[in-house]
């Protein structure tokens, strides 16, 4: 959501900011001004594509549940909180019951995230322990 909002603000901000600043810019200043906003727009668009790519697996799983009539989207409990024992859903960084930070286990070799109980890394094959 943040990349989309950034892209919209950059695009709208170009015209809004040009109103008070425009009379003070020469030809070179206006060219630089326009290129700054072009680069800002391209940067925000690339950020949006990157964010969409990173979360695409999650979206595909969620849409599969919506596509089938009569099925609900599961909450995908991955683990439990080490402090209070509450169920923790996928993607949570803090426990929703006690606020404990939830450190995601990672492979020591390649840094790939590991699900609770995995004995080997699915990315590089190294032992998880």
Q: Please measure the distance between the N-terminal and C-terminal CA atoms of the chain and give it in whole angstroms.
A: 36
Total Cβ atoms within 10 A of residue 74:
11
Helix and strand numbers (H, E) in the chain are 3, 2
Confidence of residue 121 (pLDDT cuts 50, 70, 90): confident
pLDDT at 104 over 80: no
Mean pLDDT of the chain: 76
Which of 15, 6, 12, 16 lies closest to 44, judged by CA? Answer: 6
Confidence of residue 66 (pLDDT cuts 50, 70, 90): low
Ranges of each domain in the chain: 2-57, 75-129
Confidence of residue 124 (pLDDT cuts 50, 70, 90): confident
Q: Which residues pair with 80 in a beta bridge?
A: 87
* Structure-model confidence comparison of residues 62 and 13, the more confident one: 13
């Amino acid at each position: 959501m943040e990349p989309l909002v950034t892209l919209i603000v950059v695009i709208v901000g170009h015209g809004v900011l040009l109103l008070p600043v425009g009379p003070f810019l020469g030809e070179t200043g206006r060219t630089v001004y326009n290129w700054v906003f072009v680069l800002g727009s391209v940067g925000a668009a690339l950020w949006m594509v990157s964010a969409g790519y990173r979360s695409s697996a999650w979206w595909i799983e969620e849409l599969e549940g919506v596509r089938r009539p009569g099925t609900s989207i599961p909450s995908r409990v991955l683990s439990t909180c080490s402090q209070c024992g509450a169920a923790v859903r996928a993607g949570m960084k803090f426990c929703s019951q006690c606020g404990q930070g939830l450190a995601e286990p990672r492979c020591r070799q390649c840094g790939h995230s590991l699900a609770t109980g995995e004995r080997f890394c699915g990315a590089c094959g190294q032992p998880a322990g």
